[in-house]
Amino acid sequence: MQTLTVIKIGGNVIDDPAALKRFLTAFSTISGAKILIHGGGKVATQVAAKLGIETTMVDGRRITDQPMLDVVTMVYGGLVNKQIVAKLQALDVDAIGLTGADGGTVLARKRPVKDIDYGMVGDIEEVDSGQIQFFLRQDLTPVFAPITYSKEGDLLNTNADTMASAIAVDLVRHNDVTLVYCFEKKGVLKDPNDDTSVINELTPALYADYKMAGTINKGMIPKLDNAFKALESGVSKVIICHADEVGTAVSQGAGTTLRK
Protein backbone atom coordinates (compact mmCIF):
# COMPACT_ATOMS: atom_id res chain seq x y z
CA MET A 1 0.00 0.00 0.00
CA GLN A 2 1.47 3.34 -1.02
CA THR A 3 1.80 6.29 1.30
CA LEU A 4 -0.27 9.38 0.57
CA THR A 5 -0.12 12.80 2.18
CA VAL A 6 -3.27 14.95 2.03
CA ILE A 7 -2.53 18.56 2.95
CA LYS A 8 -4.88 21.47 3.54
CA ILE A 9 -3.51 25.01 3.48
CA GLY A 10 -5.33 27.83 5.23
CA GLY A 11 -6.54 31.10 3.75
CA ASN A 12 -4.19 33.28 5.80
CA VAL A 13 -1.23 31.72 4.00
CA ILE A 14 -2.96 32.13 0.63
CA ASP A 15 -3.27 35.86 1.38
CA ASP A 16 0.48 36.29 1.94
CA PRO A 17 2.51 35.78 -1.28
CA ALA A 18 5.80 35.28 0.58
CA ALA A 19 4.24 32.76 3.00
CA LEU A 20 2.57 30.91 0.11
CA LYS A 21 5.87 30.69 -1.74
CA ARG A 22 7.61 29.24 1.33
CA PHE A 23 4.80 26.73 1.84
CA LEU A 24 4.77 25.55 -1.77
CA THR A 25 8.55 25.19 -1.74
CA ALA A 26 8.29 23.01 1.38
CA PHE A 27 5.33 21.10 -0.13
CA SER A 28 7.40 20.33 -3.23
CA THR A 29 10.00 18.50 -1.12
CA ILE A 30 7.51 15.97 0.28
CA SER A 31 8.17 12.60 -1.30
CA GLY A 32 5.53 10.21 -2.55
CA ALA A 33 1.96 10.81 -3.62
CA LYS A 34 0.33 13.98 -2.29
CA ILE A 35 -2.83 16.03 -2.63
CA LEU A 36 -3.32 19.71 -1.78
CA ILE A 37 -6.63 21.28 -0.76
CA HIS A 38 -6.67 25.06 -0.42
CA GLY A 39 -8.99 27.69 0.98
CA GLY A 40 -9.68 31.02 -0.65
CA GLY A 41 -8.46 33.63 1.80
CA LYS A 42 -9.58 37.21 1.48
CA VAL A 43 -9.34 37.39 -2.32
CA ALA A 44 -13.00 36.49 -2.84
CA THR A 45 -14.08 39.25 -0.44
CA GLN A 46 -11.88 41.75 -2.27
CA VAL A 47 -13.16 40.74 -5.71
CA ALA A 48 -16.77 40.82 -4.47
CA ALA A 49 -16.28 44.37 -3.17
CA LYS A 50 -14.94 45.49 -6.56
CA LEU A 51 -18.06 44.01 -8.19
CA GLY A 52 -20.37 45.68 -5.67
CA ILE A 53 -21.36 42.36 -4.06
CA GLU A 54 -21.78 42.51 -0.29
CA THR A 55 -20.04 39.87 1.84
CA THR A 56 -22.07 38.51 4.77
CA MET A 57 -20.40 36.42 7.47
CA VAL A 58 -22.15 34.62 10.36
CA ASP A 59 -19.92 33.14 13.09
CA GLY A 60 -16.97 33.34 10.72
CA ARG A 61 -18.77 31.51 7.90
CA ARG A 62 -19.56 33.05 4.55
CA ILE A 63 -23.18 33.28 3.41
CA THR A 64 -23.05 32.13 -0.21
CA ASP A 65 -25.92 33.55 -2.24
CA GLN A 66 -25.82 33.14 -6.04
CA PRO A 67 -23.74 36.27 -6.77
CA MET A 68 -21.23 35.27 -4.07
CA LEU A 69 -21.14 31.69 -5.41
CA ASP A 70 -20.16 33.11 -8.81
CA VAL A 71 -17.34 35.05 -7.15
CA VAL A 72 -15.96 32.17 -5.05
CA THR A 73 -16.09 29.85 -8.06
CA MET A 74 -14.12 32.35 -10.15
CA VAL A 75 -11.65 33.10 -7.36
CA TYR A 76 -11.19 29.72 -5.64
CA GLY A 77 -11.62 27.46 -8.66
CA GLY A 78 -9.98 29.85 -11.10
CA LEU A 79 -7.54 32.51 -9.94
CA VAL A 80 -6.24 31.02 -6.68
CA ASN A 81 -6.23 27.42 -7.88
CA LYS A 82 -4.39 28.13 -11.13
CA GLN A 83 -1.87 30.43 -9.43
CA ILE A 84 -0.99 27.57 -7.06
CA VAL A 85 -0.77 25.08 -9.92
CA ALA A 86 1.54 27.37 -11.90
CA LYS A 87 3.82 27.91 -8.91
CA LEU A 88 4.00 24.16 -8.30
CA GLN A 89 4.88 23.51 -11.94
CA ALA A 90 7.79 25.94 -11.50
CA LEU A 91 8.90 23.78 -8.54
CA ASP A 92 8.81 20.62 -10.71
CA VAL A 93 5.58 19.34 -9.16
CA ASP A 94 3.27 18.14 -11.94
CA ALA A 95 0.05 19.54 -10.48
CA ILE A 96 -3.49 19.42 -11.83
CA GLY A 97 -6.02 22.00 -10.63
CA LEU A 98 -9.48 20.69 -9.77
CA THR A 99 -12.75 21.40 -8.05
CA GLY A 100 -14.99 18.68 -6.65
CA ALA A 101 -17.09 18.94 -9.80
CA ASP A 102 -14.20 17.91 -12.07
CA GLY A 103 -14.39 14.21 -12.81
CA GLY A 104 -17.26 13.99 -10.33
CA THR A 105 -14.69 13.73 -7.54
CA VAL A 106 -16.62 15.31 -4.64
CA LEU A 107 -20.43 15.18 -4.56
CA ALA A 108 -22.31 17.30 -2.01
CA ARG A 109 -25.82 18.43 -1.17
CA LYS A 110 -27.00 21.92 -0.37
CA ARG A 111 -26.96 22.47 3.37
CA PRO A 112 -30.53 22.38 4.75
CA VAL A 113 -31.81 25.60 6.27
CA LYS A 114 -32.09 25.43 10.05
CA ASP A 115 -31.40 28.51 12.16
CA ILE A 116 -29.30 30.09 9.39
CA ASP A 117 -29.59 29.93 5.61
CA TYR A 118 -26.00 29.63 4.39
CA GLY A 119 -27.12 29.68 0.77
CA MET A 120 -25.23 27.65 -1.82
CA VAL A 121 -23.06 25.82 0.71
CA GLY A 122 -22.41 22.10 0.30
CA ASP A 123 -22.21 19.26 2.81
CA ILE A 124 -20.19 16.41 1.32
CA GLU A 125 -22.02 13.20 0.46
CA GLU A 126 -19.49 11.17 -1.52
CA VAL A 127 -15.89 11.22 -2.75
CA ASP A 128 -14.90 9.30 -5.89
CA SER A 129 -11.55 7.96 -4.72
CA GLY A 130 -11.18 5.87 -7.87
CA GLN A 131 -11.09 8.99 -9.98
CA ILE A 132 -8.56 10.65 -7.67
CA GLN A 133 -6.44 7.47 -7.71
CA PHE A 134 -6.39 7.72 -11.50
CA PHE A 135 -4.72 11.13 -11.27
CA LEU A 136 -2.24 9.83 -8.70
CA ARG A 137 -1.34 6.86 -10.93
CA GLN A 138 -0.42 9.36 -13.65
CA ASP A 139 2.08 10.89 -11.17
CA LEU A 140 -0.06 14.02 -10.97
CA THR A 141 -0.56 16.05 -7.79
CA PRO A 142 -4.24 17.05 -7.50
CA VAL A 143 -4.81 20.57 -6.19
CA PHE A 144 -8.43 20.99 -5.05
CA ALA A 145 -10.34 24.24 -4.67
CA PRO A 146 -13.19 23.98 -2.10
CA ILE A 147 -16.02 23.87 -4.64
CA THR A 148 -18.22 20.77 -4.95
CA TYR A 149 -21.28 19.84 -7.02
CA SER A 150 -24.76 18.47 -6.35
CA LYS A 151 -26.89 15.83 -8.07
CA GLU A 152 -29.01 18.72 -9.36
CA GLY A 153 -25.99 20.11 -11.21
CA ASP A 154 -25.33 23.06 -8.88
CA LEU A 155 -21.92 24.22 -7.73
CA LEU A 156 -21.58 24.54 -3.96
CA ASN A 157 -19.13 26.37 -1.72
CA THR A 158 -17.67 23.82 0.73
CA ASN A 159 -15.51 24.06 3.84
CA ALA A 160 -11.92 23.24 2.85
CA ASP A 161 -11.09 21.52 6.18
CA THR A 162 -14.06 19.20 5.72
CA MET A 163 -13.15 18.56 2.09
CA ALA A 164 -9.59 17.60 3.06
CA SER A 165 -10.86 15.21 5.72
CA ALA A 166 -13.43 13.61 3.38
CA ILE A 167 -10.85 13.06 0.62
CA ALA A 168 -8.33 11.62 3.08
CA VAL A 169 -10.88 9.22 4.59
CA ASP A 170 -12.11 7.95 1.24
CA LEU A 171 -8.57 7.26 0.04
CA VAL A 172 -7.62 5.02 2.99
CA ARG A 173 -8.95 2.03 1.06
CA HIS A 174 -6.04 2.46 -1.40
CA ASN A 175 -3.33 4.18 0.67
CA ASP A 176 -1.65 4.69 4.02
CA VAL A 177 -2.88 8.27 4.51
CA THR A 178 -1.47 11.11 6.57
CA LEU A 179 -3.69 14.20 6.80
CA VAL A 180 -1.98 17.56 7.44
CA TYR A 181 -3.62 20.88 8.29
CA CYS A 182 -1.24 23.81 7.70
CA PHE A 183 -1.83 27.36 8.87
CA GLU A 184 0.01 30.33 10.42
CA LYS A 185 0.49 28.80 13.89
CA LYS A 186 3.06 26.19 14.91
CA GLY A 187 0.40 23.70 15.93
CA VAL A 188 -2.27 23.42 18.58
CA LEU A 189 -1.16 25.84 21.30
CA LYS A 190 -1.75 25.92 25.03
CA ASP A 191 -1.49 29.72 24.76
CA PRO A 192 -2.68 31.21 21.42
CA ASN A 193 -0.23 34.10 21.86
CA ASP A 194 2.81 31.92 22.52
CA ASP A 195 4.14 29.90 19.57
CA THR A 196 6.44 27.96 21.92
CA SER A 197 3.45 26.43 23.75
CA VAL A 198 2.83 23.72 21.15
CA ILE A 199 0.99 20.60 22.30
CA ASN A 200 3.16 17.98 20.61
CA GLU A 201 0.70 15.09 20.75
CA LEU A 202 -3.05 14.77 21.21
CA THR A 203 -5.16 11.70 21.87
CA PRO A 204 -8.96 11.76 22.23
CA ALA A 205 -8.62 11.67 26.03
CA LEU A 206 -6.12 14.55 26.12
CA TYR A 207 -8.27 16.52 23.69
CA ALA A 208 -11.30 16.13 25.98
CA ASP A 209 -9.23 17.32 28.96
CA TYR A 210 -7.92 20.39 27.13
CA LYS A 211 -11.44 21.31 25.97
CA MET A 212 -12.80 20.92 29.48
CA ALA A 213 -10.07 23.22 30.80
CA GLY A 214 -10.71 25.78 28.05
CA THR A 215 -7.16 25.44 26.72
CA ILE A 216 -8.53 24.40 23.32
CA ASN A 217 -11.51 26.48 22.29
CA LYS A 218 -13.27 28.50 19.58
CA GLY A 219 -12.24 27.86 15.96
CA MET A 220 -9.76 25.11 16.77
CA ILE A 221 -12.53 22.79 18.01
CA PRO A 222 -14.26 22.11 14.65
CA LYS A 223 -10.86 21.59 13.00
CA LEU A 224 -9.85 19.04 15.65
CA ASP A 225 -13.28 17.37 15.62
CA ASN A 226 -12.82 16.81 11.87
CA ALA A 227 -9.30 15.53 12.46
CA PHE A 228 -10.29 12.96 15.10
CA LYS A 229 -13.18 11.75 12.92
CA ALA A 230 -10.64 11.16 10.15
CA LEU A 231 -8.51 9.07 12.54
CA GLU A 232 -11.55 7.03 13.56
CA SER A 233 -12.25 6.41 9.86
CA GLY A 234 -8.84 4.94 9.04
CA VAL A 235 -6.44 7.84 8.46
CA SER A 236 -3.08 6.82 9.99
CA LYS A 237 -2.26 10.15 11.60
CA VAL A 238 -3.19 13.82 11.49
CA ILE A 239 -0.68 16.65 11.82
CA ILE A 240 -1.46 20.30 12.52
CA CYS A 241 1.53 22.54 11.85
CA HIS A 242 2.90 25.85 10.58
CA ALA A 243 2.86 26.10 6.80
CA ASP A 244 6.63 26.68 6.72
CA GLU A 245 7.21 23.41 8.56
CA VAL A 246 5.07 21.08 6.44
CA GLY A 247 8.05 19.23 4.95
CA THR A 248 9.64 18.66 8.36
CA ALA A 249 6.30 17.74 9.92
CA VAL A 250 5.71 14.96 7.41
CA SER A 251 9.26 13.56 7.31
CA GLN A 252 10.49 14.04 10.87
CA GLY A 253 7.73 15.50 13.01
CA ALA A 254 6.72 19.05 13.90
CA GLY A 255 3.63 20.78 15.17
CA THR A 256 0.89 18.72 16.82
CA THR A 257 0.36 15.05 15.93
CA LEU A 258 -3.04 13.47 16.59
CA ARG A 259 -3.20 9.76 17.34
CA LYS A 260 -5.99 7.37 18.28
pLDDT in tens, 110-121: 999 888 888 999
pLDDT digits (tens, 9 = 90+) for 174-193: 899 999 999 888 999 888 88
pLDDT digits (tens, 9 = 90+) for 29-74: 999 999 999 988 788 889 999 999 988 887 767 889 999 999 999 9
The pTM for the full model equals: 0.93
For the chain, what are the domain ranges? 2-258
pLDDT higher than 80, residue 197? yes
Task: Say how far apart CA 142 and CA 133 lie, in whole Å.
Answer: 10
Q: Which helix (H) or strand (E) holds 141?
A: strand 141-144
pLDDT higher than 90, residue 152? yes
pLDDT higher than 90, residue 12? no
Task: Please give the pLDDT value at position 207.
Answer: 92
- What average pLDDT does this structure show over 235-247? 93
The pLDDT-based confidence of 219 (bands split at 50, 70, 90) is confident
Is 103 within any annotated ligand binding site?
Answer: no
Task: Please give the pLDDT value at position 55.
Answer: 85
Is 157 within any annotated ligand binding site?
Answer: yes
Task: Please give the pLDDT value at position 63.
Answer: 87
The pLDDT-based confidence of 165 (bands split at 50, 70, 90) is very high
The CATH superfamily of 2-258 is: Acetylglutamate kinase-like (3.40.1160.10)
Mean pLDDT of the chain: 92
Is 62 within any annotated ligand binding site?
Answer: yes
Is 226 within any annotated ligand binding site?
Answer: no
Task: Say how far apart CA 19 and CA 27 lie, in whole Å.
Answer: 12
Strand 147-149 relative to strand 155-157, pairing: antiparallel
Task: Please give the pLDDT value at position 77.
Answer: 96
Task: Please give the pLDDT value at position 56.
Answer: 84
Q: Which of 10, 22, 3 is nearest to 181 (CA)?
A: 10
- Range scoring the smallest mean pLDDT among 17-21, 102-106, 214-218: 214-218
Task: Please give the pLDDT value at position 58.
Answer: 78
Q: Tell me the chain's radius of gyration from C-alpha atoms.
A: 17
* DSSP character at residue 1: -
Task: Please give the pLDDT value at position 213.
Answer: 87
